[in-house]
Amino acid sequence: MSEQNIEWVDEEGKRVDGREVNDLRETSMEVGVLDEADGSAMVEVGNTRVVASVFGPQDLHPKHLQESDRAVIKMRYNMAPFSVDDRMRPGPNRRAKEIGLVAKRALEPAVELEKFPTAGIDISMEVIESDGGTRATGITAASLALADAGIPMKGLVSSCAAGVVGEHVVLDVNGKEDKEGNADIPIATINGGDEITLLQMDGDLTQEQVEDCVSLAKEGCADLDEQQREALLNQYRGEEQ
Residues interacting with another protein, by CB under 8 A?
34-37, 40, 47, 51-53, 55, 58, 76, 78, 80-87, 90-92, 122, 124, 126, 128-131
129 in helix, strand or coil?
strand
Nearer to another protein by C-beta: 38 or 184? 38
Q: Which run of H or of E encompasses 214? A: helix 207-240
Q: Residue 134: which of 185, 175, 91, 179 has the closest Cα?
A: 175
Handedness of CA 222, 165, 93, 25 (dihedral sign): positive
Nearer to another protein by C-beta: 52 or 205? 52
Nearer to another protein by C-beta: 175 or 186? 175
In the complex, minimum distance from the CB of residue 213 to another protein, in angstroms, rounded to a whole number: 26
In the complex, minimum distance from the CB of residue 36 to another protein, in angstroms, rounded to a whole number: 5
- 3-state percent helix, strand, coil for the chain, nearest multiple of 5: 35, 30, 35
In the complex, minimum distance from the CB of residue 208 to another protein, in angstroms, rounded to a whole number: 35
86 in helix, strand or coil?
coil
In the complex, minimum distance from the CB of residue 112 to another protein, in angstroms, rounded to a whole number: 22
Nearer to another protein by C-beta: 2 or 207? 2
Nearer to another protein by C-beta: 142 or 164? 142
| Contact predicate 43/137, CB 8 Å | yes
In the complex, minimum distance from the CB of residue 216 to another protein, in angstroms, rounded to a whole number: 26
Nearer to another protein by C-beta: 174 or 227? 174
Q: Residue 213: which of 202, 224, 225, 223 has the closest Cα?
A: 202
Give residue 13's region: left, alpha or beta (phi > 0; psi -120 to 50): left
Nearer to another protein by C-beta: 173 or 213? 173
* DSSP labels, 147-191: HHTT--BS--EEEEEEEEETTEEEES--HHHHHHSSEEEEEEEET
| Contact predicate 223/172, CB 8 Å | no
In the complex, minimum distance from the CB of residue 61 to another protein, in angstroms, rounded to a whole number: 11
Half-sphere exposure of 24 (CA within 13 A, CB side): 24
In the complex, minimum distance from the CB of residue 77 to another protein, in angstroms, rounded to a whole number: 10
